[in-house]
Amino acid sequence: MTTGSLVTFLAAVVTFLLVAVIAVVMNGKMVSKAVRRLKNAEVPTEKDMEDRTLENDLPKQETFETASKPSIDIATNHQVVLPDESFEVPGTGLDNLAKVHWNLSNEELYDEAVNRKEGIIAEHGPLAVTTGQHTGRSAQDKFIVRDASTEDTIWWDNNKSITPEQFERLRTDFVEHARGRELFVSDLYGGADPAHRISVRVCTEFAWHGLFIRHMLRRPELAELEGFMPELKIINLPSFKADPERHGVRTETVIAADLSQGLVLIGNTEYAGETKKSVFGVLNYLLPAKGVMPMHCSANVGHSGDAALFFGLSGTGKTTLSSDSTRTLVGDDEHGWSENGIFNFEGGCYAKTIRLSAEAEPEIYATTQRWGSVLENVVVDPETGRPDFDDGSLTENGRVAYPMDFIPNASDTGIAPHPQNIIMLTADAFGIMPPIAKLTPSQAMYHFLSGYTAKVAGTEKGVAGTQATFSTCFGAPFMPRHPSVYGNLLRDLIARHGATCWLVNTGWTGGAYGTGSRMPIKATRALLTAALDGSLANVETRTDPFFGFQVPVSMNGVDNTLLNPRDTWADGSAYDEQARKLVQMFIDNFEKFEDHVGRDVMDAAPIIRTAAE
């Protein structure tokens, strides 16, 4: 090639490369312009788009040194093209917002929370947050709109009301307060059964609240987010303070639900459980009308499809006993029982952490060592990031929130067959109840409506000595309808599907709290296993003289003395006296239900006797 030809060739190459560079730059500008028209500031990379096909968006590493952030999950960055000047949340009335973060992934919400200093990164990667003055539910600040549709369907003796006009003023003030703020919006489902789930749009002021509720509810597939139509909308603004006079509420804190509109407003509380329980409360209202029983219970299922339900109040062992390595965990807190079987309302767990240990509860403890878990109101060492689960200085109600797949043997579907066994748990601190007893359907309804357990000093702030607690349906704060609605549903389902019912006492033996000792967990698990596998159905039983239920006389591997509580007391007459006192508590509590139950249920009530037989 001559010198002239070489020069000509090189000039052509340079021209070609220059044109290519200009084209790339122009194309990039066009893309950037298009990106600015999206509601979210960032667009997923090719790697992000590939990772959307992954089923789990959280890492498997167990240590802080090796933990890495997860890839983007299936339902992430659902972006909606709106005009640049418009930031609103369709279906909620929220408008003129500074920014809306739509359906961010767990990774993005975690990063947003850290960058906004909403929490700190604990050892091994969980996000640790505190919630200020409210470290539990504000039950006295919860209201339901009283209108034509709720007048005759809500149990008003148990639920506070506000007028439609008061709620509308509250809603208007919420919308005004939100203007100019950034919100995080998550589109989710409440309920694993497609036939009975509800679509929920949750709008939160805090990124960590968005991460929390993505753990708690069930996440749609990406395709399901297109055209997502929420049946329930929740707006959670911790910075909003209600005006009691203007809004008809008790304090500046408010949790108000308009069931006709499908709208819940939460203000002046950072406690994340309010959002979770708001969804539960709405399902508790909607499902009975469809013949579906909503339940405050945990559930698991054996290899042969033998499902079991565990009802129980806080401190009774509901989460602990349903976590069994030999059975699949369906869920730990909220379920429905329909014509199809049982189904989890949620997609995650919200477990108490006070005095949590790897020895006693290894599976739950392991979730506190995982990236992406949320530690709520858990004391964390500022130097090491290590949580101290024995420190209750923030609250006895410290929690860890995590997705179901953090539990090794958790159900992928959240669905199981009709239950064969129903366990009603009580922590009887008076030392009267046997460790296990078999119930008739009428006795089951009686104890379900009673919802008995006992609290002792140190378990909750303000509790001194021993206090009997009766929370109907094992969840009175979450029951909008009259308890008889749920009791009758449960009794009908038990009869229809032939479930066996058991009362299990995880409380005290050998005397009341302060004298006796806690029921041995080994004995409880042995009796529970025998109940679930059917072997306990064939043992000899006795009739309890006070409560009338059937109690095993003996059981292999269990100290027979435990099975007769009176024998564990040093003074039998002292047992009889305390038993009569407890029976009277049951009778007094049940008076409010007498006009709502049949004769068979009343006949299942305990009896005061002058002496044990």
Higher-pLDDT residue of 283 and 321 is 283
Do 250 and 140 meet the contact criterion of CB atoms below 8 Å apart? Answer: yes
Neighbours of 564 (CB within 10 A): 17
pLDDT tens-digit series, residues 198-228: 999 999 999 999 999 999 999 999 999 999 9
146 is catalytic: no
Phi-psi region of 465 (alpha: psi -120 to 50; beta: other; left: phi over 0): left
User: Mean pLDDT over all residues of the chain?
Assistant: 87
78, 134, 137, 214: the catalytic one is 137
* Residue-level pLDDT at 244: 98
pLDDT-derived band at 4, boundaries 50, 70, 90: low
pLDDT > 70 fraction of the chain, expressed in percent and rounded: 84
Residue 98 DSSP symbol: S
Residue 361: the pLDDT is 87
562/552 Cα distance (integer angstroms) = 10
Question: How far, in whole angstroms, is CA 86 from its chain's centroid?
Answer: 34
174-191: per-residue pLDDT in tens? 999 999 999 999 999 999
b/e per residue, 270-308, with b = 16+ CB within 10 A?
bbbbbbbbbbbbbbbbbbbeeebbbbbbbbbbbeeebbb
Classify residue 380 by its DSSP letter.
Answer: B
φ, ψ for residue 289 (rounded to 5)?
-65, -20
What per-residue confidence (pLDDT) applies to 16?
A: 52
* DSSP-derived pairing of the beta strands 198-204 and 232-237: parallel
Cβ atoms within 10 Å, residue 413: 11
Count the Cβ atoms, other than its own, within 10 Å of residue 362.
12
Cα–chain center distance at 304: 27
333 a catalytic residue:
yes
What is the pLDDT confidence band of residue 70, given thresholds at 50, 70 and 90? very low
Element (H, E) at 186: strand 182-190
- pLDDT surpasses 60 at 54: no
Confidence at residue 63, expressed as pLDDT on a 0 to 100 scale: 30
Q: Locate 461 and state its tokens.
A: 């702030």
Amino acid 599 reads R
Q: What is the DSSP letter of 227?
A: T
Burial of 533 (0-12, 13-18, 19+ CB in 10 A): middle
| pLDDT (0 to 100) of residue 466 | 80
Is residue 254 pLDDT above 70, yes or no?
yes
Q: Is the pLDDT of residue 418 over 50?
A: yes
Active site annotation includes 296: yes
Q: Who's near 408: CB < 8 A, 6+ residues apart? A: 363
Predicted local distance difference test score (pLDDT) of residue 77: 37
Catalytic, 405? Answer: no
308-319: pLDDT as tens digits: 999 998 889 888
Higher pLDDT, 595 or 36: 595
66 pLDDT more than 70: no
Query: pLDDT band at residue 12, thresholds of 50, 70 and 90?
Result: low
pLDDT in tens, 16-53: 555 444 444 434 433 333 333 323 333 333 333 333 33
- Decide if 314 is catalytic: yes
pTM: 0.84
Residue 324 has a pLDDT of 87
Burial of 457 (0-12, 13-18, 19+ CB in 10 A): middle
Residues 6+ apart with CB under 8 A from 101: 40, 108, 112, 182, 183, 184, 185, 207, 210
What is the model's pLDDT at position 26?
A: 39
Q: Evaluate if residue 74 carries a pLDDT over 50.
A: no
What distance separates the 2 farthest-apart alpha carbons in the chain? Answer: 123
- Type of residue found at 287: L
Is the pLDDT score of 81 beyond 70? no
State phi, psi for 324 to the nearest 5 degrees.
-135, 120
Per-residue pLDDT tens over the stretch 420-456:
999 999 999 999 999 999 999 999 999 999 999 998 6
**What is the arithmetic mean of pLDDT over 262-288?**
98
Q: Is residue 567 flagged as an active site residue?
A: no
135 compared with 18, residue with greater pLDDT: 135
Specify which residues 422 forms β-bridges with: 309, 501
Distance between CA atoms of residues 568 and 320, nearest Å: 25
Distance of CA 134 to the CA centre of its chain: 17
Both tokens of residue 385? 């990031």
Catalytic residue among 209, 277, 438, 580: 277
The Cα 363–Cα 367 span in angstroms is 7
For 496-543, the DSSP string reads HHT-EEEEEE-SEESSSTTTSEEPPHHHHHHHHHHHHHTGGGGS-EEE
- Which member of 399, 438, 455, 491 is catalytic? 399
Contacts of 490 (CB under 8 A, 6+ apart): 293, 295, 337, 444, 445, 448
Neighbours of 391 (CB within 10 A): 14
Contact yes or no for 232/201 (Cβ under 8 A): yes
* Nearest of 518, 535, 448 to residue 484 by alpha carbon: 448
CA distance 15 to 39: 39
Q: Picking from 80-89, 530-539, 552-561, which range would have the lowest pLDDT averaged per residue? A: 80-89
Average pLDDT over residues 51-64: 33
Name the strand (E) or helix (H) holding 28: helix 3-35
Q: Which residue has the higher pLDDT, 1 or 127?
A: 127
Residue 565 clears pLDDT 70, i.e. is over it: yes
Least confident of 10-24, 53-67, 337-351, 485-499: 53-67
Structure tokens at 105: 């992934």
Tell me the mean pLDDT in the region 135-144: 95
Query: HEC profile for 242-311?
Result: CCHHHHCCCCCCEEEEECCCCEEEEECCCCCHHHHHHHHHHHHHHHHHHCCEEEEEEEEECCCCCEEEEE
Which one, of 286, 277, 290, lies nearest residue 259 by Cα? Answer: 286
Could you say which of 130, 298, 319, 373 is catalytic? 319
Query: For 43-181, where are the E strands, in sequence order?
Result: 99-102, 120-121, 127-129, 142-145, 160-162
Instruction: Decide if pLDDT at 61 tops 90.
Output: no
Task: Tell how strand 452-456 and strand 334-338 pair up.
Answer: unpaired
Residue 151 has pLDDT above 50, yes or no: yes
Residue 442 annotated to the active site: no
The answer to whether the CB of 284 falls within 8 A of the CB of 337 is: no
Q: Binning pLDDT at 50, 70 and 90, where does residue 2 land?
A: low
Query: Catalytic residue among 201, 318, 491, 580, which?
Result: 318
Give me the pLDDT at residue 538, please. 86
Among 314, 440, 471, 529, the one annotated catalytic? 314
Length of the chain as a residue count? 613
| Cα–Cα distance for residue pair 511/572, rounded to 1 Å | 10
What is the distance between the alpha carbons of residues 499 and 490, in angstroms, rounded to a whole number?
10
- Mean pLDDT along residues 484-501: 95
Tell me, yes or no, if 32 is annotated catalytic: no
